Amino acid sequence: MKKYSIVLVILVGLFGCGDDYYPVDEDGLLITDRAECFVSNFELLDTDYQTVRTKNAVIDTVAQTIDVEVRWGTNLKRLWPQFTLVTDAKLDPKITDWTDFTDISSPREWTVISGNRKVKKTYSVNITIQQLNP
Amino acid sequence: MCTKYYKIFLLTFSFGLLFISCESDEYSVPKANTQLHNDVIKRTLGPNVVGLDIEFAYAMALGCERGHIVSAEVEASISGATGTFLEHRSFHTDNGGNDVGVVVGEPSITAENTTKVIFSVDTCAATLRYYYTIPEEARGKSVTFTFSSTASTGERVSYQMGPYQIAKMNIEKDIVLSNDDKCFFSIADMKVYDEAEALQRTDKIDLVYLYRAIPGIAFDHALVSPDVDATFLQGKTVPSSIDNATLIQRAFGLQDQHLARLQFGIYVDDLDFQTLNISDASNYAIDLRAEYGAWIQTVDNKYRAYVYVNAVNNGDETMTISIKRYEM
């Protein structure tokens, strides 16, 4: 009987202390020790969920820019950007709908927030359209 | 003390378990129902579209020592279109998974909304298939079916199926568009016209088909609105009187079963058109390939449609399409 009591006390102690070791942010996401903060990949999808890129996006993690060339004829009003981020990082604002990239002179911006939620880096997405007669 | 009670409990429980486990129920083969009885399954999936079939399998049986089946019939609440029939063969599946039909009666006779098969062989069980070709008058309504069979004993059984909602949309399959000839498409008519024909009905032309092989650019087969920017017409001249502004949104991975007739179990239904929102769509869809599609909305929002690309041919500069169209 004593043995069971000891095990129970240890278990309660372990679970009871859980919240202090694994804090979560306002989105319910885990806050970790990671301070890395960058975009590792970028995709841009059309309404048919196919890519509109002509080649891989160029991501400059120092200048915090993403340069992407889209196919000639792409409808810039309804595109869905997809960011691949470093582990534990998150994006602000969240992408919950189609995004309008029509005004290519004013690049759209998203902020990457590190896993420890202390580092923030804003990336600009620069769109260029493939030329008809290159 | 605790241990003692625990041991007593275990012993009692074990004995109890022993008694229960040793009890054996005598198995007996269930007795078959020898009364005439019947059952139906619906074999077709997806929305019920006018012009297409709804298929059922109707099974009936009675004890062989009691008699045989005399007739089977189906009564539809709305008379089926030409092509509606009840199989006079009873189907079963052989070891290879193939459907095998055995003739059990005379070909069905349809009188008004009832289709009947008179049995000509002495059989006490059969599964007949019923194909109901959906008539125009059923569009937007619901249809019910009453399956009945009679036996030589005088017994009669029935089985109700439905109601099944018939879709409002129209369907048209395998329309061939060609680059320099029949390239003007009307959603209202669901037909393709050449330029001379198109000029007779300019307000009804919603799409222009063109094929252009442009180096470095994914263009090839395209459907564009007549009012599209000249860049997307790539030299094609559209008469100025044909100027409808159609919204077009390309789709991929939507191989509607009715239109594609491929292995995909995907269906575009009335509800898809009712909830479709392509107000931000462009007025062109370029680089269309086989198995691609496009959502269409006419300038007056009278029609919404889904155009599926069955095939493209770069040599002939043609595109074969099938369409589902919904009148708003």
Give the separation between CA B153 and CA B150, rounded to whole angstroms.
Answer: 8
Contact B144, B163 (CB under 8 A): yes
Give the separation between CA B223 and CA A72, rounded to whole angstroms.
Answer: 15
Give the bridge partners for A129, in sequence order.
A70
State the pLDDT at residue A79: 96
**A14 domain residue, yes or no:** no
State the pLDDT at residue B31: 82
| Domain of B135, in residue numbers | 37-165
If pLDDT is split at 50, 70 and 90, which confidence band does B112 have?
A: confident
**A107 domain residue, yes or no:** yes
CATH of the domain at A55: 2.60.40.2340
**A43 domain residue, yes or no:** yes
For residue range B280-316, list pLDDT tens digits in order.
899 999 999 999 999 999 999 999 999 999 999 999 9
For residue range A24-47, list pLDDT tens digits in order.
999 999 999 999 999 999 999 999
> CA of A91, closest CA in chain B: separation in Å?
26
If pLDDT is split at 50, 70 and 90, which confidence band does B30 have?
A: confident
> CA of A18, closest CA in chain B: separation in Å?
36
Torsion of Cα atoms, B222 then B223 then B225 then B228, to 10°: 0
Q: Are residues B176 and B318 in the same domain?
A: yes
**A50 domain residue, yes or no:** yes
Q: Are residues B140 and B43 in the same domain?
A: yes
What length does chain A have?
134
Q: Are residues B248 and B158 in the same domain?
A: no
Q: Hey, are the CB atoms on A98 and B280 less than 8 Å from each other?
A: yes
Contacts of A75 in chain B (CB under 8 A): 280-282
**A72 domain residue, yes or no:** yes
Mutant choice from A48, A49, A69, A98 vs B, greatest count of B C-beta within 10 A: A48
Q: Are residues B240 and B102 in the same domain?
A: no
**B134 domain residue, yes or no:** yes
Q: Are residues B199 and B258 in the same domain?
A: yes
**B302 domain residue, yes or no:** yes
Nearest to B134 by CA among B210, B47, B72: B47
Contacts of B6 in chain A (CB under 8 A): none
Q: Are residues B57 and B111 in the same domain?
A: yes
What length does chain B have?
328
Q: Residue B268: phi, psi to the nearest 5?
A: -90, 125
Give the bridge partners for B112, in sequence order.
none
**B77 domain residue, yes or no:** yes
CATH of the domain at B152: 2.60.40.3550
Q: Does residue A12 sit in helix, strand or coil?
A: helix
**B79 domain residue, yes or no:** yes
| Domain of A46, in residue numbers | 25-129
Give the separation between CA A99 and CA A50, rounded to whole angstroms.
Answer: 15
Give the separation between CA A117 and CA A92, rounded to whole angstroms.
Answer: 12
Torsion of Cα atoms, B316 then B317 then B320 then B325, to 10°: -150
**B129 domain residue, yes or no:** yes
Give the bridge partners for B117, in sequence order.
B72
**B26 domain residue, yes or no:** no
CA distances from B252 to A9, A81, B290 (A): 58, 18, 10
For residue range B196-253, list pLDDT tens digits in order.
999 999 999 999 999 999 998 999 999 999 999 999 999 999 999 999 999 999 999 9
Please give the interface size between A and B, counted as residue pairs whose CB atoms are below 8 Å apart: 42
Q: Both tokens of residue A124?
A: 């600009």
**A71 domain residue, yes or no:** yes
Residue written as token pair 């981020």: A85
Domain count, chain A: 1
**B236 domain residue, yes or no:** yes
Q: Are residues B315 and B184 in the same domain?
A: yes
If pLDDT is split at 50, 70 and 90, which confidence band does B143 have?
A: very high
Give the separation between CA B193 and CA B199, rounded to whole angstroms.
Answer: 9
Query: Per CB distance under 8 Å, which residues of B are interface residues toward A?
Result: 214, 216-219, 231-232, 249-253, 280-282, 284, 286-287, 292
**A10 domain residue, yes or no:** no
Domain count, chain B: 2
Q: Hey, are the CB atoms on A77 and B219 less than 8 Å from each other?
A: no
Final residue of a domain: which of B165, B183, B214?
B165
At residue B115, what is the residue type? Answer: T
Give the separation between CA A8 and CA A2, rounded to whole angstroms.
Answer: 10
Q: Are residues B47 and B189 in the same domain?
A: no
Using CB atoms within 10 Å of the CB of residue B222, give its burial: 0 to 12 exposed, 13 to 18 middle, 19+ buried: buried
**A134 domain residue, yes or no:** no
Contacts of A49 in chain B (CB under 8 A): 252-253
Query: Residue A7: pLDDT above 90?
Result: no
> Is A65 an interface residue toward B (CB < 8 Å)?
no
